């Protein structure tokens, strides 16, 4: 029977712990779970539940899964993994993944074959940070990762259309939302071309992150295709873990009269203002509203880009 090992403090058994344990169980074989002792925790942790309490909860979960397991106390992080000749697979979390190579180095020095390392990714809370026992004990989240406070979102713009679009999209998934705005100077020209729109959105998102959970940047630009110039609006959302998710809305082609003015150096906004009575100065229906006779307006177009950037965050279990 294959010998599988994993370990940790398991201070408050949360969804991330359960994924780690369930991954180890799914590998089959006999599972050894190293549980950090009270002695270790007193020396290395701040607030930890007693060993017997942690062991009981751990045992209940493993038993409920029908696992063949035993739990052993650990006074050091590596436990017996570096000296156990029967161990074949070690399951570690993304947070502790560097333990794997260190244990294999130790095994090689002890004349033992290396074990196979299985790394289990973080399980993220509603604020896109990892679930942790310390955050649960601090009352910030629950064991499933639900936030007990509003999600904090910074937006790199003062444009009311962009702000409204960002709020409406993100609030569908995070009803408790606290949004702030930052007047971010654009790092691209008045009329971005090609990848400049994405770069501008990224700069706006990074500048608005600060102490927020998310920073959001939106930038529209001109994209050249063989048949002419297209409008494409980009959204970039960054989080405190440094992950950036990017999306863009539908692209539509400008009519030749707008294209000609843009190629001469005008912005789309000024070109529309010259050619159409409604104008297009960033807060109205926009070029898309003018060209679709009001079927689609600038806010709806911006919502498309924001929603596209949110996709990996809506189903973060599939992406991360």
Residue 208 lies in a domain: yes
The enclosing domain of 39 has a CATH number of 3.40.50.620
The enclosing domain of 261 has a CATH number of 3.90.950.10
Mean pLDDT lowest for which of 26-35, 73-82, 235-244, 300-309?
Answer: 73-82
**Is 126 in the same domain as 12?**
yes
Interatomic CA distance for residues 4 and 68, integer angstroms:
10
Check residue 278 and give its pLDDT: 54
Single residue among 92, 111, 137 that ends a domain in this structure: 137
The pLDDT-based confidence of 1 (bands split at 50, 70, 90) is: confident
Nearest to 49 by CA among 97, 5, 17, 94: 17
Residue 145 lies in a domain: no
Q: Which two tokens stand for residue 194?
A: 């090609």
**Is 255 in the same domain as 133?**
no
Interatomic CA distance for residues 294 and 121, integer angstroms:
46
Single residue among 137, 160, 176 that ends a domain in this structure: 137
If one counts the domains in the chain, the total is 2
Q: Note down the domain range covering 65.
A: 3-137
Residue 144 lies in a domain: no
**Is 276 in the same domain as 254?**
yes
**Is 16 in the same domain as 57?**
yes
Residue 214 lies in a domain: yes
Check residue 276 and give its pLDDT: 75
**Is 183 in the same domain as 293?**
yes
The pLDDT-based confidence of 250 (bands split at 50, 70, 90) is: very high
Average pLDDT over every residue of 276-296: 73
Interatomic CA distance for residues 8 and 19, integer angstroms:
13
**Is 209 in the same domain as 274?**
yes
**Is 305 in the same domain as 209?**
yes
∠ Cα 254 256 261 (to 5°): 90
**Is 193 in the same domain as 300?**
yes
**Is 128 in the same domain as 155?**
no
Asked whether the predicted pLDDT for residue 93 surpasses 90, the reply is yes
Asked whether the predicted pLDDT for residue 246 surpasses 60, the reply is yes
Average pLDDT over every residue of 93-117: 92
**Is 165 in the same domain as 218?**
yes
**Is 294 in the same domain as 219?**
yes
Asked whether the predicted pLDDT for residue 111 surpasses 60, the reply is yes
Backbone angles phi, psi at 164, to 5 degrees: -65, -40
Residue 189 lies in a domain: yes
The pLDDT-based confidence of 189 (bands split at 50, 70, 90) is: confident
pTM, two decimal places: 0.88
Residue 183 lies in a domain: yes
Note the helical H segments in 210-282. Answer: 256-263, 268-275
Residue 232 lies in a domain: yes
Average pLDDT over every residue of 129-156: 96
The pLDDT-based confidence of 280 (bands split at 50, 70, 90) is: very low
Residue 142 lies in a domain: no
Under DSSP, is residue 206 helix (H, G, I), strand (E, B) or coil? helix
Nearest to 189 by CA among 226, 220, 229: 220
Under DSSP, is residue 225 helix (H, G, I), strand (E, B) or coil? strand
Check residue 135 and give its pLDDT: 95
**Is 11 in the same domain as 157?**
no
Check residue 18 and give its pLDDT: 97
Interatomic CA distance for residues 278 and 258, integer angstroms:
14
Check residue 271 and give its pLDDT: 81
pLDDT digits (tens, 9 = 90+) for 12-68: 999 999 999 999 999 988 999 999 999 999 888 888 899 999 999 999 999 999 999
């Amino acid at each position: 029977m294959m010998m599988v090992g994993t370990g940790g403090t398991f201070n408050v058994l949360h969804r991330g712990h359960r994924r780690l344990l369930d991954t180890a169980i799914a590998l089959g074989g006999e599972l050894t779970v190293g549980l950090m002792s009270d002695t270790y925790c007193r020396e290395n942790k701040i607030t930890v539940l007693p060993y017997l309490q942690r062991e009981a909860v751990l045992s209940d979960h493993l038993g409920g899964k029908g696992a063949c397991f035993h739990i052993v106390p650990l006074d050091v992080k590596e436990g017996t993994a570096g000296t156990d000749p029967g161990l074949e697979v070690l399951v570690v979390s993304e947070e502790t993944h560097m333990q794997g190579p260190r244990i294999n180095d130790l095994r090689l020095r002890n004349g033992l074959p290396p074990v196979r390392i299985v790394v289990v990714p973080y399980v993220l809370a509603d604020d896109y940070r990892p679930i942790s026992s310390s955050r649960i004990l601090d009352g910030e989240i629950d064991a499933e990762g639900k936030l007990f406070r509003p999600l904090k979102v910074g937006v790199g713009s003062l444009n009311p259309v962009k702000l409204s679009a960002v709020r409406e999209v993100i609030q569908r998934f995070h009803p408790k939302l606290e949004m702030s705005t930052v007047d971010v100077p654009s790092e691209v020209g008045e009329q971005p071309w090609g990848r400049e729109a994405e770069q501008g959105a990224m700069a706006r998102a990074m500048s608005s992150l600060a102490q927020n959970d998310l920073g959001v940047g939106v930038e529209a630009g001109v994209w050249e295709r063989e048949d002419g110039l297209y409008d494409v609006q980009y959204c970039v959302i960054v989080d405190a873990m440094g992950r950036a998710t990017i999306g863009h809305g539908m692209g539509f082609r400008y009519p030749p009269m707008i294209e000609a003015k843009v190629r001469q150096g005008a912005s789309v906004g000024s070109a529309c203002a010259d050619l159409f009575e409604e104008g297009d100065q960033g807060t109205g229906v926009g070029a898309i509203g003018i060209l679709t006779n009001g079927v689609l307006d600038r806010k709806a177009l911006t919502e498309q880009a924001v929603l596209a950037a949110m996709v990996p965050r809506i189903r973060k279990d599939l992406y991360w």
